[in-house]
Structure 1
């Protein structure tokens, strides 16, 4: 991000927890209005008009109908639509308070992530190579959500960024709070206030989130065991169903399961990937069972049709 403050240009590059970097150009701050000596009323009128044109729009409560979340911001936040216009993955951007001449501002940005996120918490081993930040947990609607604190020195200015991932039901978002390092205490106090005011339905359930937080190393093996057991039970059920349903029923069900699994490929959640894998394994196994059942019944039906056909009449012998 290139921010012009008091005639100085500061280059800011943020590293995020989803292994992406963000760069954008912001507009220059409000210029100083020149004071001339014409009529006093014209000066006042010109200043007022200039303020209306150049001042950021006062931030209001966010009500996002697509991702279905709301956020009420403190009055000190003002909208920065220029940041939003520069990057499509940045949904909302705001500047906090007013910066003194030459001071780096505090920014709040909300970014969309690629799909949903799992309640299984982030660990240092999950972070990209070269990550030098600190992972932490923050509260959001009773859940312990993942956050990362990233400290950088950019053009001689020490900065700090708090990135917190929010597991919304339709698509996850990331709350990013950025500012100079000398305002760390202020940012650390401001972040929970922002998260408390962010409301939306999550794709996490309270029971699953609690289990993963208590047993972070056991969650993966438990999911795998559930998947294996589910596939075996499903195949056993299809085998029994093949003996009690019309010919070809199991084959149709298997094809539908396998085809239906491809409808969820864009869901980026580990639990959903597991369900997709189960559907495809059951679909393939069930397809084999269905084919065997169709062939077996066809062979069993053929002799009966032959036996039930009337015998050819013998020709009458001549007298």
Structure 2
């Protein structure tokens, strides 16, 4: 069988994969087999499917470089790969923890790694379908790490929303994430800003404290996008008696303060203005 793996006939990817599955079903792959398959993948068969049967024996350092290629597989194949990665070997444990899997998915750059964005989204969805593996604690750990990535991953807000849908008890944690995003000036990241506003709207009134942390111009953007927020946020400020703690501009946006208008200049006849001006000239009162 190793001969077939070393020199597979053209178009024999499925056959090679079946052989590898048979060889690894009840025992760990031998070192020779691992070397042969890696060589085959790197030189002839650029199909990451042939690596799936061996993934449980791969360390983290070998899984991460090929992870985008695994995500680019069909959903069924990715599920197989995910199971192997999380299973790991009896000696070393899983190649990646569930939190590391989520982080690795978000680290994929669709353009740079040549993975369709939909495939990355599908990979995230596959994780959320396994709630006994990708638990609330796993999501907290992954999101805590991802929020500090530079740049913040494109799908970050989508995943935060998914996480809260799956585990409503995460709401306080998510408010902390939103507050950190305010500190990171999330409004300067247009695609993430849209998700931030959507989540803030969906989680009202819990999100009111976060919204009031926004600079006035960004708060105004939020209230213009979701006009229904304004009266509820104003009521919240009243109930919490926050008037003395908020910037005047914020209070103005919420309708508590009207900017004073400049008083009009008093009208004076032109002749009187001329006389007043003349009387102030040196020597004007000397007669």
Answer yes or no: same fold by TM over 0.5: no
The TM-score, its normalising length taken from structure 2, stands at: 0.27
The TM-score, its normalising length taken from structure 1, stands at: 0.25
Greater fraction helix: 2
Higher relative contact order (CA 8 A, sep 6+): 1
Greater fraction strand: 1
